[in-house]
Structure 1
Amino acid sequence: MKDASPQPINNQARARLAVVLGTLLAVLDLGMINISLPTFARSFDVAESQAVWVSTVYQLVSAATLLIASAVSYLFGRRWVYAVGLGLFVLGSLGAALAPSLTVLIGFRMLMGLGAAAMLALGPALLKAVYPAHQLGRALALNALVVAFGLGCGPTLGGLVLWLGDWTWIFLLNLPLGLVALILALQSVPRDKPQPVIFDAPGAVYSVLMIGGLMLAFERFSHGASAVWGLSLLTLASISAALFVTRQRRAPRPLLPLDIFDNPRFSYAILVTLFAFIAQGLAFVALSFLYQTTLGYSALTAALLFSPWPITLLFSGPISGRLSDRFNPALLSTWGLVVFVLGIVLLAWGGAQESLAWLVSASVVCGLGYGFFQAPNNHEVMANASGPRSASASGVLASVRTLGQSLGSASFALIVSMSGGNIAVTLWTGFGLAVLALGISVRRVWVAGQMAGRLD
């Protein structure tokens, strides 16, 4: 699929706003819902273990259908698929706000997850289409900034909404913003010519079973389910993964063209993304529990104490994005990971000491490092995917990011239970994963240098 031709500046600005609003709504939702789970349990008079499915089903459906959304965009065009995603998200939000029971609410959350998948899968590809090539880093910095801001500020906004009103406003807020984004998308997002391809239905089924099985397995393990359930789901995910890869190698029009991974710089950037987001997911949940359970603050106060991380990222993300247009993005993101690793160490030490000032300061360091990692790393991903593969690369990036964040969150309960309730252990685990991401990133910088040397 060819990238759209350049647009007038006003149209570009509106198209960017449409993508930013859609991405923000999809990511912000998760943090707002997580802090609202006890409220859902009280409102519907159900156990918290049942209410948690309001969050789980959204993550599960969106993660499992991200690759499908990017593949469908080749059939119908990215603009149309993105707009349909926005429409489903708005419709699901309205239904969720009016839901008379938890079962109905969960059903509409599935619809919202489908819509979010389209928005998250195509966001980076659409930004690449509406920004000039020499400003790719700036475009992807914007996407990284929106994602990080949504993940970080979702709990704070959710707490404020619950303080001012009831839980229905969590969903009603999506309606005006979603409709504005939908109108802007239909008016300004560039049209692209659909390709006459056959949809890879078997590949789609295998991908859903692969990603869904893996996420459900971790979710079951984290909530103390029997080992039989967890291992069965892991087996299902493993078999589905093998079938998926086999299918993608043989299919004339695969759901995910595996040749996208032939470029080692792309593959390394995706691996780094996975482990960095698992580490961040662990740190996010650990901080929430440290502030509320260990230090005894309310949910709203804990969310406010957490805000230095995303606020710092608001400043470091755009700077690193601009720098990645001028300097080696792989090297920039590696230095960002160095700072992030330092921040995780400080968090783990502060958690053991139960020092509030230390934890807040360490959060600033984490936000600074993650901001300098994420935007250049996204640049590295998209710059090493050719134009016809932009939607696929965008889908892979969104899938890995969502999967990593979800695995990090789901792993928290498992690690805490195995460590006897020691939250600091989860932070040290996050440190190990961040170091692994850093090691892979150092390796890719070396590989990039070798590739440049061969070209010379």
Structure 2
Amino acid sequence: MSSIDGAPQVGTSTIADGSQPTTGLPVPRRFWAALSIWSAIFLTIMDVSIANVALPFISKGLAITAAKSVWAINAYQIAIVMALLPMAKAAEILGYKKVYLGGLLLFMLAAFGSINASSLAVLASSRFVQGIGAAAVMVVSGALVRTIYPPALVPRGIGYNTIAVSIASAAGPAVGAFVLSIAGWHAIFAVGLPFGLLALALGFWAIPLTGSQKKPFDYRSALLCCAGFAAIFLFLNDLAQDSVSRWTLLSIGVAIPAIWFLGKRTTANQDSMVPLDLLKLDSLRTAYAMSATAYAVMMLITLSFPFILQQRFHFKPETIGLFMVPLPLGIVIAAFVSGRLVSRYPSAWLCASGLIVLTGGAIWLSLLQPGVSALLIVAAAAICGIGFGIFQVPNNHSMIAIAPHARAGAASAMLSLSRLIGQTLGAIVAALLFRRFGAQSDAPIIAAALIALAVASATLLRKDLSRSAMVE
């Protein structure tokens, strides 16, 4: 197996206390543990895409503006951003299984608050608590891959998780539309509960206990982390929505001192809330940066593509939805294949190849004009998904597998954090380009193609330089 720069990786890993290598779970227990994680992924990922579809109905049902209804999404995402690193540290102290099951239980209990919400305050509060539970699940679901699968199958396990994320993302809008057609908006927050119950039951039985660490939890750093990241998210969200106000200035006023004091408390050892020990590894820094960039590229494409289909091609909403399906479907197919290639080829080559394919798909999308065959639109969207799927599995594998096993929780948190950072930055760039060129413009897609090509070129150049240095 290879890291992001093509260097070989160790084929075994150690459990949290470092006493012995892990060989994964035996079959069929491995399958049931994996099914628990996939169900948890469906619970937390599909929840967001379903809620997006329901925003107009929430706005009407609670008699609030469309801008305020977005807090059903923002509260959830802010909680995730705030809680990722503290939850990673809690998982290392308490053990992954306890945090995983606790997160699932918290998410489902808070879902009842969303289901019965009669005001925006109650809904946003419930969604915030759900976000905390989701952060616990996200942190552990990635880390548990190294416990459930033997080292040789870890890339496949990461690929299977990627497939679950893609299916959940693709199914969310369709499931949400179906539920809204037969029930009120409150019902959408109950859709994921069966997945949560399944994940909880299987996880309680199949997921093994991992070693815990007897050390105190740094509550001050956790508080600074929550305040700093929440304020940064709010600031970036205001920029994306072009709604800069005094609250934006307040966000800056909170973010700067919180991050400064957090930095003062951060050291390079494993006890720090911020995983500086991981950030000091060049291969991990590269993987995090590439992940954030790739997600920003995908956000540019997925935000602008529907507007182009609506305003340039004048397609109906249901047709637009169908044209969006090939993108996640391409990710599913490519992730399945890519998970089997990680152990055979350097990750740098796979990541660069995926980004080049993604560049080609984005250029294809930008060249489409009204009257073009529907098959060409489907093919272009599918190629974008295939490129991202080829990239995502080896890059995610690098972020998880390079880190020491005892830091798997922090590594998983950084994986999720890089994804959220990329999506947020992509949304900001898309909003700026929409305001400058109009929603029907293909400027975001062209920007996505240029960024993907630049990162692919830098990856290949970096690998060549590394090889030259080794030869010298």
Out of 407, 429, 446, the position equivalent to 2:425 is 407
1:46 paired with 2:64, answer yes
Equivalent residue, structure 1, for 2:164:
146
Equivalent residue, structure 1, for 2:89:
71
2:46–2:192 CA contact under 8 A, matched in 1: no
Instruction: After superposition, give the CA deviation of every residue in 1:362-393 in whole Å (9 maximum; x if it has no partner).
Output: 11110111110001111122221111121111
1:314 paired with 2:332, answer yes
Q: CA distance change for structure 1 residues 365 and 6 in 2, over 3 Å: closer, same or farther?
A: closer
1: CA distance between counterparts of 2:457 and 2:252?
A: 27
How far off its partner does 1:196 sit?
Answer: 0.9
1:67–1:255 CA contact under 8 A, matched in 2: yes
How far off its partner does 1:203 sit?
Answer: 2.4
How far off its partner does 1:438 sit?
Answer: 2.1
2:336 is aligned with what amino acid?
P
Equivalent residue, structure 2, for 1:213:
231
SS at match of 2:178: helix
How far off its partner does 1:217 sit?
Answer: 1.4
1:88 paired with 2:110, answer no
Instruction: After superposition, give the CA deviation of every residue in 1:58-98 in whole Å (9 maximum; x if it has no partner).
Output: 11111221111111101111000011111111112222112
Equivalent residue, structure 1, for 2:9:
none
Identify which range, 2-11 or 104-113, moves more after superposition: 2-11
2: CA distance between counterparts of 1:223 and 1:174?
A: 29
State percent identity of aligned pairs: 26
Q: CA distance change for structure 1 residues 429 and 232 in 2, over 3 Å: closer, same or farther?
A: farther
* Deviant stretches of 4+, over 6 Å: none
CA RMSD in angstroms, aligned pairs only? 2.4
2: CA distance between counterparts of 1:275 and 1:448?
A: 22
How far off its partner does 1:51 sit?
Answer: 0.5
Instruction: After superposition, give the CA deviation of every residue in 1:100-125 in whole Å (9 maximum; x if it has no partner).
Output: 22221111111111111111111111
1:274 paired with 2:292, answer yes
2: CA distance between counterparts of 1:154 and 1:406?
A: 20
1: CA distance between counterparts of 2:159 and 2:229?
A: 27
2: CA distance between counterparts of 1:438 and 1:445?
A: 11
Equivalent residue, structure 2, for 1:382:
400
How far off its partner does 1:225 sit?
Answer: 1.5
Q: Which has the higher helix share?
A: 1
Q: CA distance change for structure 1 residues 217 and 38 in 2, over 3 Å: closer, same or farther?
A: same
1:105 paired with 2:141, answer no
Equivalent residue, structure 2, for 1:363:
381
1:326 paired with 2:331, answer no
1:31 paired with 2:53, answer no
Out of 152, 167, 173, the position equivalent to 2:191 is 173
Q: CA distance change for structure 1 residues 257 and 124 in 2, over 3 Å: closer, same or farther?
A: same
1:12–1:131 CA contact under 8 A, matched in 2: yes
How far off its partner does 1:431 sit?
Answer: 2.5
Instruction: After superposition, give the CA deviation of every residue in 1:216-235 in whole Å (9 maximum; x if it has no partner).
Output: 11211222223654455346
Gaps of at least 5 residues in structure 1 are none
2:149 is aligned with what amino acid?
Y
Q: CA distance change for structure 1 residues 116 and 293 in 2, over 3 Å: closer, same or farther?
A: farther
1:412–1:426 CA contact under 8 A, matched in 2: yes
How far off its partner does 1:32 sit?
Answer: 1.2
1:129 paired with 2:147, answer yes
2: CA distance between counterparts of 1:452 and 1:383?
A: 23
1:429 paired with 2:447, answer yes
Q: How many residues of Structure 1 are paired with residues of Structure 2 in the alignment? A: 453
2:268–2:277 CA contact under 8 A, matched in 1: no
2: CA distance between counterparts of 1:110 and 1:181?
A: 21
How far off its partner does 1:140 sit?
Answer: 0.9
Out of 10, 16, 31, the position equivalent to 1:13 is 31
1:259 paired with 2:288, answer no
